[in-house]
Structure 1
Amino acid sequence: MTCPDDPFPDLPAGKEELFAAAAAEYDRYRPGVPTEAAELLADTVRDLPDPVLLDLGTGTGQVPRALLPAVPGLAHIEAVDVSRQMLDQARDALVPVLGRCTLRLVHAAADAYGPLPDDETRAPDLVTCCRSFHWMDGPAVLAMADRVAAPDATVAIMGDGSLWTHEADWTRALRELIQHYLGSERRAGTGATYSEPRRSYGEGLATSAWSDVTEHRIPVGRAWAPKDVIGYLRSTSFAGPELFGQRHAAFEAEARTLLDAHAAGDSLSESAVFTLLLARRPGVAR
């Protein structure tokens, strides 16, 4: 395993700090990769000897954690993120379960990633991006993947929205409370608001080198304890503690009261759909 002492150049301004303070909460409270999604990813490399994974926007390493047991022969992981704190969490989570697999943590923006000049690691057979592609320069990331990935590689873009986008009585009430404190626009850290991508991920893939796309939609049911929703919010760009300043304690107290009332002594239900896009270069055998 290697961990860089210095970041790659051209880290995007503000992105490194966006989730840095929330790394521990992210690791504890964010839902992992569904088992069915991990199996679909594993199927793309199951027949390859010693496959290599490149995970972009790895966060706390949820994709590698899901793939290590699903692909016992996984040989190497390149885990890339703009946040050193997230990479620290990923290292702590992955090192105990690596087995013979090797790991390199790369402190870089996804589109700036590239193998080191003396790197003997094989080209990645699977390039993944989970719940993070919307923060990236999509066309540049897909072009980078085309430069570095193996000829028969697969690119996987996946995600399932957030509690901000989920439509239920309790999430609507929670969203309205956040808006009461922070304004009607969805925040994206302390200095920005969130804008929806102009094109769907499928449309972006269709105009890239990775235009052979299959879509998988996996229903996921989750039961949230009110206290875990509070922890989840601390990990987000739209309701992190730094957005509220001195009013954060008041917000959390009001949010906990609201969530307890909706739970009524039970859990809070979320019915999500985890969407997985598997993309290949045209003409590559499945």
Structure 2
Amino acid sequence: MNNEPLPVPDRREEPSAGPEPSDEALFGTAAGEYARYRPGVPDGAVRLLAATLHGVPAPVLLDLGTGTGQVPRALLPVVPRMAHVNLVDVNQQMLAQATAELEPLLGACTVTTYAGEAHTFAPRVLGQRADLVTCCRAFHWMDRTAVLKMADRVAAPHAAVAVMGDRSLWTHDADWTVALRELIQTYLGEGRRAGTRGTYTEPGRSYEDDLAASAFSDVSEHRFPLTRAWTPESVIGYLRSTSFARPALFADRHQAFEAEARRLLDAHARSGTLCEEAVFTVLLARRPGTAS
């Protein structure tokens, strides 16, 4: 049960002709920091995603808001029969970083990049349907209703949609993250910045409700608690990759901010380590009657 056979040209195809990407106002040129400092997908979540592809001989993955390709980078080693990966992002530099990161893992798998908003995606190969649609830490930036309608058009009948992520350091409630958030606010104002778009607004309804109102209304929640150990250096690198504290937001005050942030983090670190207790949540959704 899968797609029509895929052509096998070069392992990385030319970008498909989607709409013009955005002005990259959210993350700017942060692809390097994003790839190096953003936490990956936990092993338990990777196994859960891989299990959705059990029995599919040559799976196709559609990764929305792919960033630097963390999801396919985690899945390819455990699903070596993956036939094709579609990477979708508004940021061209993120897509370039993602294809470079994936290159050593591809084997016979092919990749297509699509620069544009997720809800406008259309597969380049006629009849190619995704067996798994993933969106990690990016669903809140999207037109979620339109994205799920698009997924219904392009996903195979048996496909699963996985909306997943965890809280950012902005929302984490440890002593050191609270102090760091307060420092950012002294520079950038009380509201959480959303790149140069202004301030971030919480979604009007939950992701569970978004999914329940879509074709993928059979939803299960899977939670993976984990402990992350940060260093002051890795926190600074992470901040450079975020929409709420990337360097351009500070203009000529960024160097001063980083120096002050480094002093704050050094003061809170214990043996050079800052602890984050996190929960990575996966909402796994299918069309009713298709759950395996």
Contact 1:154 1:279 in 2 (8 A): yes
1:251 is aligned to 2:261: no
Q: Which residue matches 1:17?
A: 25
- Measured against aligned partners, the alpha-carbon deviations of 1:78-112 in whole angstroms (never above 9, x if no partner) come to 11111100001001100111011111111121000
- Residues 184-193 or 24-33, more deviating: 184-193
2:194 to 188, 191, 197: 188
Among residues 77, 82, 106, which one is paired with 1:69 in the alignment?
Answer: 77
Give the Cα–Cα distance (whole angstroms) in 2 for the partners of residues 270 and 232 of structure 1. Answer: 13
> How far did 1:7 drift?
5.3
Q: Show the 5 A alignment for 1:150-169.
A: 150-169=156-175
- Note if contact 2:37-2:237 (Cα within 8 Å) is conserved in structure 1: yes
Partner of 1:2: 13
Which consecutive unaligned segments of at least 5 residues does structure 1 have? none
Kindly indicate whether residue 182 of structure 2 is the aligned counterpart of residue 176 of structure 1: yes
Equivalent residue for 2:6? none
2:46 partner amino acid: A
Q: What is residue 142 of structure 1 aligned with on the other side?
A: 148
Percent of matched pairs sharing the same residue: 64
| Structure 2 residue 42 is matched with structure 1 residue 34 | yes
Task: Tell me, yes or no, if the aligned pair for 1:20 and 1:86 is still in contact at 8 Å.
Answer: no
Q: C-alpha displacement at 1:204, in angstroms?
A: 0.5
RMSD over equivalenced CA pairs, Å: 1.2
Provide the C-alpha distance between the structure 1 equivalents of 2:57 and 2:28, rounded to a whole number of angstroms.
Answer: 36
Distance 1:153 1:240 in 2: 36
Q: Is the 8 A contact 1:10 1:112 kept in 2?
A: no
Q: Is the 8 Å Cα contact of residues 221 and 283 (structure 2) preserved in structure 1?
A: yes
Matches of residues 259-278 of structure 1 in structure 2 within 5 Å? Answer: 259-278=265-284
8 Å contact 1:113–1:144 — kept in the other structure? Answer: yes
Q: Tell me by how many angstroms 1:3 deviates.
A: 2.6
When normalised by structure 2's length, the TM-score is 0.94
Q: Which runs of 4 or more aligned residues in structure 1 lie more than 2 Å from their structure 2 counterparts after TM superposition?
A: none
Distance in structure 2 (CA, Å) of the matches to 1:252 and 1:107: 32
Contact 1:46 1:71 in 2 (8 A): no
**What is the CA-CA distance between 1:121 and the residue it aligns to?**
6.1
Q: Which residue of 2 aligns with 1:218?
A: 224
Structure 1 residues 123-164: Cα deviation after superposition (integer angstroms, max 9, x where no partner): 100000000000000000000000110011000000001000
* 2:25 and 2:196 in contact (8 A); partners too: no
Tell me the distance in 2 between the aligned counterparts of 1:37 and 1:69. 14
Q: Please report how far the alpha carbon of residue 269 of structure 1 lies from its aligned counterpart in structure 2 after TM superposition.
A: 0.1
Q: Deviations over 1:9-68 (max 9, x none)?
A: 264x54x33223111100000000101000000000021110110000000000000000
SS of the residue corresponding to residue 149 of structure 2 reads helix
Distance 1:222 1:285 in 2: 32
TM-score, length basis structure 1: 0.95
Question: What are the ranges of 5 or more consecutive residues in structure 2 without an aligned counterpart?
Answer: 1-11
Q: Secondary structure at the match of 2:187?
A: helix
78, 87, 94: which one pairs with 1:79? 87
Deviation track 1:209-242 (CA, whole Å, cap 9, x = no partner) reads 0100010010011000001100000000000000
Q: Are residue 101 (structure 1) and residue 101 (structure 2) matched? A: no
